[in-house]
Amino acid sequence: MATAEEVAKAAERRDVRDRWLLSAPALLVIFLAATGPLLIVLVYSFLTPGPYGDVKWQFSPEAWIAVFLERDIFDDTLSAAAAHVTIFLRSIKLSVVTTIATLVLGFPTAYFMATRSEKTRDLWLFLITIPFWTNLLIRTFAVLQIIRNEGIVNSILLKLGIISAPIQILYTDTAILIGMAYVYLPLMVLPIYASMEKLDFRLVEAGYDLYATRFQVLRRIIFPLVKPGVIAGSILVFIPALGAYVTPSVLGGGKNMMLSNLIELQFGQGRNWPLGSALSIAVMIIVMVALLAYVRNAGKSGVRHG
């Protein structure tokens, strides 16, 4: 009793199966490309370091223990890995401040862009993308030229007589912040602009008609509506900032390690690839958990306001 309905269902089932089969090769490639290298890193983190770099194929949990605990080389006591914690906290702190700085600069920029006429908007968008045309390293060296002791800022201030000796900005955390805020600013502006562009500005007018102050309009109308953009921008800035390598080493003078420098040390002069792998995975897990928590919270409060 093959009704027309059943035939249609079977055809549909076949259709679904064909689609899966046809996309399987692509999915497989994407899956392998995305997880393959990570799996190698994961496996390496459970091996024994080779004497001069590389790994020996012998299981060892040492690397993971070393991520969290360190054995003092002088009195042989086991304690929490203070050096790793310090480096981790410094990276987080700098990334959070970078995110806030780009948000403070990026939000008004995006607002300005979104409120221009349709034609000029494209021009502004184009201008925002210009820094991407130049290599990150070169942009970082450009910042170095501006803030160094013999650089543009200090020379002008000296000439104007505002300061008598150059201000030491280069090789400080401030220098890293300036560099990172500059480098990551477009990543904050673009997603905010994307949500702001869709914003119905009649709602803003309505707010003013109902006697809302400028601040109230910003807080109660604009901000909740562009929140997805702000969240996307914050994530786009925070994660690369956490892994930043070039900017801290060029502008920070390499005196205080960031996470990426610590990991690089293990693969280079430290010759402890398993520890480097374990540190990488640990950072990834922590970032992932933090992100999930953040997105979930942000999503909830978004619903409440919406």
Partner 1 sequence: MNWKTTATAMGLALLASTGLARADGELNIYNWGNYTSPDVIKKFEAKYNVKVTITDYDSNDTALAKVRQGGTGFDIAVPSQTYVPIWIKEGLVQETDPGKMENFKNVAPEWANPEFDPGRKYSVPWAWGTIGVVVNTDAYKGPTDTWGIVFNAPDELKGKVNVVPEMNDVIFAAIKYVGGQQCTDDRAVLKKVRDLLVAAKPNWIAMEYNTIEKMGAGDFKATSDWNGSALRQRLANPAIHYNYPKEGFGLWSDNVVVLKEAKNVENAKLFQNFIMDPENAAGLSAFHRYANAIIGSDKYMPADMKDAPEVVIPADAKPKGEFQKMCAPETQELYTKIWTELQK
**Contact (CB, 8 A) for 209 and 292:** no
Q: How many residues comprise the chain? A: 306
Joined tokens for residue 108: 């008004």
Nearer to partner 1, 37 or 299 (CB): 37
- Determine the Cα–Cα distance for residues 248 and 260; give it in Å rounded to an integer: 9
Instruction: Indicate the residue among 9 and 56 with the shorter CB distance to partner 1.
Output: 56
Q: Which spans of this chain sit near partner 1 (rule: CB under 8 A)?
A: 49, 51-54, 70, 73-74, 82-84, 86-87, 148-150, 168, 170-171, 253-257, 261-262, 265-272
Amino acid at site 118 = E
In the bound complex, what is the minimum distance in angstroms from residue 243's beta carbon to partner 1? 17
Residue number with CB closer to partner 1 (191 or 248): 248
Shortest separation between residue 237's beta carbon and partner 1, angstroms: 25
Whichever of 95 and 154 has its CB closer to partner 1, that residue is 154
Residue 59 phi/psi, 5° resolution? -65, 140
- In the complex, the smallest distance separating the C-beta of residue 45 from partner 1, rounded to whole angstroms, is 17
Minimum Å gap between C-beta 264 and partner 1 is: 10
Give the shortest CB-255-to-partner 1 separation in angstroms.
5
Select 87 or 282, whichever has its Cβ closest to partner 1: 87
Helix H or strand E segment including 239:
helix 223-242
d(CA 52, CA 240): 30
Shortest Cβ 250–partner 1 spacing (Å): 9
Q: How far apart are CA 245 and CA 278, in angstroms?
A: 18
Question: Which residue from 286, 212, 264 is spatially nearest to 53, judged by alpha carbons?
Answer: 264
**Residue 51 Cβ vs partner 1, minimum distance, rounded to whole Å:** 4
**How far from 301 is each of 171, 183, 227, 288, CA to CA, in Å?**
40, 30, 10, 20
User: Which stretch of DSSP H or E encloses residue 80?
Assistant: strand 78-80
Name 79's bridge partners.
Answer: 70
Query: Looking at beta carbons only, is 51 or 306 nearer to partner 1?
Result: 51
Q: Closer CB to partner 1, residue 85 or residue 285?
A: 85
Tokens for 76, please give them. 């042989």
The whole-angstrom separation of Cα 111 and Cα 104 is: 12
Burial of 56 (0-12, 13-18, 19+ CB in 10 A): exposed
